[in-house]
Amino acid sequence: MTDDTAASALLADIDDFIRQHNPETTDRIDFLRARFDAGLAWVQYPEGLGGRGLDPELQSVVDAAFAAAGAPDNAPHRNIIGLGMAAPTILRFARDEDKLRWLRPLWTGEEIWCQLFSEPGAGSDLATAATKAVADGDDWIVSGQKVWTSLAHEASWALLIARTDPTVPKHRGLSYFVCDMKSEGLEVRPLRQLTGEAEFNEVFLDNVRVPDANRFGELGDGWKVTQSTLMNERVAIGAGSTPREGGPIGFLTRAWRERTHTHNAALHDRVLRLWIGAEAARLTTARLRQQMAAGLPGPEGSGAKLTYARLAQEISSTEVDLAGHEGLRYDDYTARRPDLDEESKRPAAYRFLRTKGNSIEGGTSEIMRNIIAERVLGLPAEPRVDVDVAWKDLPR
C-alpha cells in the first residue's frame, strides 16, 4: 500500500468515525477512548494498542483530519512525560498484558505520568542513584529521595529507577520499575522555582511497595531501559511537534509585528536570524520524531535538545529587549502550581526566566555535548575511573 493510498484509507475511516462519534455531542473522554480503540491514536503503534502498524509519517494526516472536524485532542501539553517518554518505554519493555492497561488511559489523558529518576546526589551522573529496592517476596520495598520531578503532584504512575544490587558497578546494579503514585509511604513536596511556580517536586519514598510484575527489563539491567527513556525525553523536549512560528519563536514574531515603531535594522536582523534558526530546527527534528514514533530514538536527540535550549533562551532574551522597560516587569512570584493552558497570557519576562531551565532539565547542555561528541561524532570518550568500581565503594 502506497503512502497516498494509506492516507486516503485513513481519511475515509476518520470520516466514518466522526459520523459515528459526533464531537459536538460525544463526551470528550468517551470520544478519545473510542479513537484509541479504533487505532487512530498512534497510527504507528500495533493494532489493539491505539494504532494500525502504519508509517509514523501518517500521524500528521490523522491529527489534521481530527482537528479539522473540531474533535477534542488529548491535551498533550498536560502529559508530556507520559506521551513522550513513558509510552515508548511501555511499548518496548512492558509485558504484553500490561501494555493496553497503561497505554489507553495514558493516551486519553486520564492518567498522568512522571519520572522518578534524578536524586539530590545523582543528577547529571544518574547512574549513581542511591534509592534502594529490597526484594520482599513478589514485591520490592523502595526507599529513597527523588528530585526535580515534573507533574508528580498530578501523576497516577511514575517511571522509577532504583538500586537493587549495590555490590556491582553503578550501571549494572539498577533496575527499572513502574510505581503507583498513590502508594503508601510516598510523599510529594513542591519545589518553588524562579518564576514563582512549583512546576517540579521532590518525592520521598519510605518503604514503598512495588510489585516485581511492574519491572521493565531484566533485574539489574535498568540502565538499558533508562537510556531508552532518556533518548525519548530529549527528542520530546527538543523536537516537539509545533507548526511554523509555534513555540517560543511565535511569541517573538507576534511581539515584533505588534511593535512596528520599534523597528530598526539591527533588531530586524536579530529577529530574522532567530526565525531562520527556529525554522531550521523545526524541519530538522521532524525526522527525529519519526524515529521516536518508530521506537528508535537515538543520541541525535541530544542535538535537538541542545539546539532547543539555546534557541529558546536567545529568543526569550530578544523578546524582553523588544518590549523595552516593560519587558523587565514580572511581579507574579506567588507560590503556585503552573497553569499549563495560560502560556499565551504570560509576559515576556516569564519566558525569559523559565527558559533558563531549558539548559538543565532533561540533561544539562554540557552532558548533551558529551553525548554528541562521543556517540554521534565518535570522538574519544572522557576518562572515567569509576565504571568498574562497585557502587557501594564509590566515594560520596
State residue 359 phi and psi, 5-degree precision: -90, 5
- Concatenated DSSP letters for 39-89? T-SSTTSPBTTTB-S--GGGHHHHHHHHHHTT-----GGG-HHIIIIIHHH
Instruction: Enumerate helices (H) and strands (E) in the chain, giving the number of each.
Output: 12, 8
Distance between CA 160 and CA 149 in Å, rounded? Answer: 11
* DSSP H or E run through 308: helix 301-322
Strand-pairing partners, residue 135, are 140
Q: How many residues does the chain have?
A: 396
Question: In this structure, what C-alpha cell is assigned to residue 236?
Answer: 520530546
For cell 547542555, the residue is 365
Distance of CA 333 to CAs 134, 338, 390, Å?
41, 12, 45
Q: Which of 57, 197, 202, 233 is catalytic?
A: 233
Q: Three-state SS for 202?
A: strand
Cell of 248: 517560543
Confirm whether 342 is a catalytic residue: no
Task: Give one DSSP letter per residue of 119-160, joined into a string.
Answer: BTTBSSSGGG---EEEEETTEEEEEEEEES-TTTTT-SEEEE
Name the maximum alpha-carbon separation found in the chain: 71
370/306 Cα distance (integer angstroms):
11
DSSP labels, 87-119: HHHHHHHS-HHHHHHHHHHHHHTSS-EEEE--B
Q: How far apart are the first and last CA of the chain?
A: 58
Place of cell 557502587: 391
CA gap 385, 377 in Å, rounded:
22
* 130/248 Cα distance (integer angstroms): 37
Q: Tell me the three state secondary structure of residue 388.
A: coil
Q: At CA 278, angle to CA 360 and CA 82, rounded to 5?
A: 50
The residues annotated with a catalytic role in the active site are 233
